[in-house]
């Protein structure tokens, strides 16, 4: 079985990693997928959450990495746990507070790396620094197996929805931007008692939008990998029959913003697929944009959701 491996990480404390990890595992489980959560944190917040809240069917593991041993040991341990879990689950979600002793290489084990960050300038700057230290991991030109990077604004206050912070920051790598998870007392109250996906308020709605965006990111990744494989075959064939190799394609004509959102990428993907099949429709992206509009997602999120650069 090939399973999706998702890492939720950042070097910052208290940004909402464990909340996102436990509740994303619950979200995916509700979709009918088998899910394992691996909690690599000493606090054990995400594993305690899932173990103590009403049973939702996520398999939970808690492992401490031998970080004090340094070298390759922590990575080898993590890889072993991850691969074992991946043999039995459709989706594996890992919660890990990153520290410098961990080699960036570990990120290559994952399909999706989710970095929760608050949207204050100071935290975004720390997040940009974190990504800068690991930027080679996300460089798809060097590594065709690079994980997809998804930035997740977390604990976002209503008044922050009007700010335009992502356009002021210079991030060193391309990433997709997920819809924000809103700050709410109800989210704190759910700890070990229930799940954000069941909250009937704006925070619950925001988390469900975030969950859908994660699933869309995984779909896109799969489609991208499949089309890359197909392109390889086409290129080989065309060289054999001596057809021109460099015909303009929709994908070459699209300029991908360094700050493309999940929905923006989704839209670009649709455009590429439609260009190839001769169709021209933006309906699915429109539907998603409508649901964002109904949540009053701020202008900067909407703008990026249209796949336009904010520079
Ligand atoms: N959307 C939210 N709204 C309100 N409070 C939240 C939200 N997400 C997380 N919190 C609260 O923020 C605090 C930190 O959250 P959490 O433990 O998930 O973050 P973390 O990044 O895993 O922290 P640590 O670095 O300690 O592992 C907790 O008190 C949690 O209840
Ligand atoms: Mg935590």
Top-confidence residue, 305 or 128? 128
What are the counts of helices (DSSP H) followed by strands (DSSP E) for the chain?
A: 11, 7
d(CA 143, CA 136): 8
d(CA 243, CA 239): 6
Report the chain's mean pLDDT, rounded to a whole number: 78
Q: Identify whether the C-beta of residue 41 lies closer than 8 Å to the C-beta of residue 99.
A: no
Tokens encoding 287:
């539907």
In CATH, 4-220 is 3.40.50.300: yes
Q: In which band, very low, low, confident or very high, does the pLDDT at 273 lie, cut at 50, 70 and 90? A: low
Which numbered atom of ligand 1 lies nearest the CA of 196?
A: 1
d(CA 266, CA 66): 39
Which numbered atom of ligand 1 lies nearest the CA of 20?
A: 18
Q: How does pLDDT run across 240-272, given as a tens digit for each residue?
A: 443 333 333 323 222 233 333 444 444 444 444
How far, in Å, from the CA of 185 to the mean position of ligand 1?
11
Q: Which residue has the tokens 């303009």?
A: 248
pLDDT beyond 60 at 289: no
Q: How does pLDDT run across 194-205, given as a tens digit for each residue?
A: 999 999 999 999
- Residue of the nearest CA to atom 29 in ligand 1? 188
Least confident segment among 88-92, 124-128, 218-222, 289-293:
289-293
Per-residue pLDDT averaged across 114-138, rounded?
A: 92
Q: What is the pLDDT of residue 270?
A: 45
User: Which residues lie with the beta carbon below 6 Å from any ligand 1 atom?
Assistant: 13-19, 41, 43, 45, 97, 154-155, 181, 183-184, 187-188, 191, 203
pLDDT beyond 90 at 237: no
Q: Which residue has the tokens 């890359």?
A: 228
> Which residues are bridge partners to 6 per DSSP?
93, 112
Per-domain boundaries in the chain = 4-220
Per-residue pLDDT averaged across 164-187, rounded?
A: 85
Torsion 180-184-188-190 (CA) sign: negative
- Burial string for 68-90 (b: 16+ CB within 10 Å, else e) reads eeeeeebbebbeebbeebbeebb
Torsion 77-80-81-83 (CA) sign: positive
310: phi then psi, degrees, rounded to nearest 5 = -105, 5
pLDDT beyond 80 at 170: no
Q: What is the pLDDT of residue 235?
A: 55
- Judged by its nearest atom, the ligand closest to the C-alpha of residue 15 is 1
């Amino acid at each position: 079985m090939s399973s999706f491996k998702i890492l939720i990480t950042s070097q910052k404390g208290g940004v909402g990693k464990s909340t996102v990890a436990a509740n994303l595992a619950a979200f995916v489980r509700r979709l009918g997928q088998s899910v394992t959560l691996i909690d690599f944190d000493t606090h054990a917040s995400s594993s305690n959450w899932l173990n103590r809240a009403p049973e939702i069917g996520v398999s939970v593991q808690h492992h401490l990495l031998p970080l004090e041993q340094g070298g390759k040991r922590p990575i080898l341990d993590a890889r072993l746990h991850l691969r074992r879990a991946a043999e039995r689950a459709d989706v594996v979600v890992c919660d890990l507070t990153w520290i410098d002793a961990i080699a960036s290489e570990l990120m290559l084990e994952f399909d999706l790396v989710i970095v929760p960050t608050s949207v204050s300038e100071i935290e975004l700057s720390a997040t940009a620094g974190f990504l800068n230290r690991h930027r080679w991991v996300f460089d798809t030109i060097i590594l065709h197996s690079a994980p997809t990077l998804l930035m997740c604004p977390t604990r976002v206050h209503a008044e922050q929805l009007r700010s335009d912070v992502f356009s002021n920051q210079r991030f060193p790598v391309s990433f997709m931007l997920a819809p924000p998870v809103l700050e709410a007392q109800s989210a704190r109250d759910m700890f070990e008692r229930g799940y954000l996906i069941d909250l009937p308020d704006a925070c619950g709605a925001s988390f469900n939008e975030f969950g859908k965006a994660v699933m869309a990111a995984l779909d896109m990744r799969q489609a991208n990998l499949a089309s890359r494989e197909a392109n390889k075959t086409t290129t080989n064939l065309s060289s054999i029959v001596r057809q021109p190799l460099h015909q303009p394609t929709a994908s070459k004509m699209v300029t991908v913003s360094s700050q493309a959102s999940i929905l923006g990428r989704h839209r670009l993907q649709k455009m590429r697929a439609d260009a190839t099949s001769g169709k021209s429709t933006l309906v699915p992206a429109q539907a998603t944009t409508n649901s964002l509009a109904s949540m009053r997602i701020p202008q900067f999120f909407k703008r990026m959701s249209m796949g336009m650069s904010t520079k």
